[in-house]
Structure 1
Amino acid sequence: MSGLGRLAAVDVAALQESWDRQQEGYMPDREERFGAMLDAVAATAGPGPVRLLDLAGGTGSITLRALRRFPAVEATVLDLDPALLAIAEATFAEPSHAEPSHAGPSDAEPGRTGRVAVVAADLSAAGWVDALPRREYDAVLTATALHWLPGERVSGLYGEIRQLLRPGGIFVNVDHIPDDGLPTLTKQLLAAEETVRNARYAAGAALSWARWWEHLATIEELAPLVARRHEIYPTGHAAEFTPSLAWHVDALRAAGYSEAGVLWRGGPDAAVAGVR
């Protein structure tokens, strides 16, 4: 059953809002980092529709903002989590999100809603590219996701992503990427962020990661998908891999990107970009 059919009786917009608030508990500058990514897309995209791959995209947060930013977008949201993918499918099946008022009807393709394809794939192996509806993108964007993969897999993934980009296309990965020159300050910033986050939880301004998933499991339509998620990640995600900016830049260059460097920084987090 598609996300739309499964969640027909669920307030999907409210779920998207609660996801945003939960994520902002960990990343108060979340919109700033999204803005930096989309600014880079705007600067490099051609005159036609922006062909975007929202990698490890979850509920489609990046795609939602791209649809609001650009007059024409052809996006693919790729993730493995069945609950988040169901929310994404239901979200982009809504006409207000899937098609702008001036757009014509979309092609009827499996897993496709409007201008957004939602696909399930596992980034831990190179075969994930087989799930994609196209083989060339203007931009591949991912946010706070790849740190769950081991280092050797991240470096391999960088090369696979490059092959999906058109010449001059960009890849942006915003994640926990500390500055090697500020080890003490980084720890202090993380501690300060935790203090603010805990205060928000205490005030009821947002749910924690664990509480958000507990809430999702209480929704009848989503409970089986949350259970499936626990089967996919029986012990949670792997240990975090958070190397320095230099590691990421070196990995991008080794993967063959013509340019690689930092696009944005916010304390212990940064966005690294590679240009094909």
Structure 2
Amino acid sequence: MTDTSTTTTSTTHGTDWRAWQQSWDRQQEWYMPDREDRFRVMLDMVEAFCGTEARVLDLACGTGSITARLLDRFPRAVSTGVDLDPALLTIARCTFAGDDRVTLVEADLTDPDWPARLPYDTYDAVLTATALHWLRKEPLRVLYGQLAGLVRPGGVFIDADHMIDDTTPRINAAEEIFSRTRRDQARRAGAVDWAEWWALAAKDPVLAAPTARRFEIYGVHADGEMPSAAWHARVLREQGFEEARPVWASPSDTMLLALR
């Protein structure tokens, strides 16, 4: 693994990084029970458009959930993970330590110069999941223009995220009630939510310091937005992608594919 910032060793304090990866996955699945299904469809689309040896940019990579599944399915692919979160990047660095297929970059996607930190000028695919809702519309519009310059002609950008359609308030309300009830049931069965997961990370001897830095950067949660899939598709076309439409959806989330 190549890292453009300081690397934390995978053996520090004997931390079990696989366990941290798994606990992050379980916490995310509490919110998104169909999380693995969306990853499967995402990689189906990578194979359809880019083959099995793709150069991938894992945007807002977190712990590297997409990268792990990408390399498990396509061992000859390569991945660049980009994120600003020091705690999640620590888990990613230690998980992929020694894997020369993976490069991790610490960068702020709202910094206009963040693409200059990447190891490649172009990518076959840019993939992201449950991350860009942290951005408001105007920074997201700018980011989409940058991504249009990074994705090669014929390559794809795929985003699986919360995309709210304000024209369906009754459907939205019913889905929210159902999802909240299901989460409450899982919580009573022992599932860990977002806040509890971060509380556990703050107590870990290796993750405590980067977790504290993480909350200095983001606070409790960023003030983002969740525009509709139609908004995302329109702006992606305006910013340089030729086609854009949903390729998967759950009751609350949409996976949008944009073709360069």
Query: Aligned AA for 2:67?
Result: T
Please name the residue that 1:118 is paired with: 104
Q: How many angstroms apart in 2 are the aligned matches of 1:230 and 1:181?
A: 34
Tell me by how many angstroms 1:8 deviates. Answer: 5.8
Query: Aligned AA for 1:145?
Result: A
Q: 2:77 aligns with which of 73, 76, 82?
A: 73
SS of alignment partner, residue 146 of structure 2: helix
Q: How many angstroms apart in 2 are the aligned matches of 1:264 and 1:181?
A: 19
Q: 2:26 aligns with which of 21, 31, 44?
A: 21
Please name the residue that 2:17 is paired with: 12
Instruction: Write the mapping of 1:60-209 to structure 2, written as runs, cut at 5 A.
Output: 60-93=64-97, 98=99, 114-204=100-190, 206-209=191-194
Please name the residue that 1:261 is paired with: 245
Please name the residue that 1:232 is paired with: 217
TM-score (normalizing by structure 1) = 0.88
Query: Aligned AA for 1:169?
Result: G
Q: CA 1:19–1:7 in 2, change beyond 3 Å: closer, same or farther?
A: farther
Contact residue 119 and residue 131 of structure 1 kept, 8 A: yes
Q: How many angstroms apart in 1 are the aligned matches of 2:259 and 2:78?
A: 20
Deviates more, 1:20-29 or 1:127-136: 127-136
Q: CA 1:177–1:162 in 2, change beyond 3 Å: closer, same or farther?
A: same
Q: CA 1:15–1:134 in 2, change beyond 3 Å: closer, same or farther?
A: same
Contact residue 135 and residue 225 of structure 2 kept, 8 A: yes
Query: Aligned AA for 1:13?
Result: R
Please name the residue that 2:203 is paired with: 218
Tell me by how many angstroms 1:181 deviates. Answer: 4.7
Please name the residue that 1:103 is paired with: none
Tell me by how many angstroms 1:6 deviates. Answer: 6.6
Contact residue 257 and residue 274 of structure 1 kept, 8 A: yes
TM-score (normalizing by structure 2) = 0.94
Q: CA 1:88–1:229 in 2, change beyond 3 Å: closer, same or farther?
A: same
Q: 1:39 aligns with which of 30, 37, 44?
A: 44
Q: How many angstroms apart in 2 are the aligned matches of 1:179 and 1:42?
A: 29
CA deviation string 1:29-83 (max 9, x = no partner): 1011111111110001146x21000000100000000011113111011100001
SS of alignment partner, residue 15 of structure 1: helix
Q: How many angstroms apart in 2 are the aligned matches of 1:14 and 1:161?
A: 33
Q: Report how many residues are paired.
A: 255
Query: Aligned AA for 1:208?
Result: D
Structure 1 vs Structure 2: percent identity of aligned residues? 48
Query: Aligned AA for 1:229?
Result: R
Tell me by how many angstroms 1:197 deviates. Answer: 1.0
- Structure 2: gaps spanning 5 or more residues: 1-5
SS of alignment partner, residue 201 of structure 1: helix
Tell me by how many angstroms 1:15 deviates. Answer: 0.3
Q: How many angstroms apart in 1 are the aligned matches of 2:118 and 2:82?
A: 8
Q: How many angstroms apart in 1 are the aligned matches of 2:152 and 2:172?
A: 36
SS of alignment partner, residue 93 of structure 1: coil
Query: Aligned AA for 2:212?
Result: A
Tell me by how many angstroms 1:5 deviates. Answer: 4.6
Query: Aligned AA for 2:55?
Result: R
Deviates more, 1:180-189 or 1:255-264: 180-189
Tell me by how many angstroms 1:258 deviates. Answer: 0.9
SS of alignment partner, residue 173 of structure 1: strand
Query: Aligned AA for 1:257?
Result: F
Q: How many angstroms apart in 2 are the aligned matches of 1:181 and 1:149?
A: 22
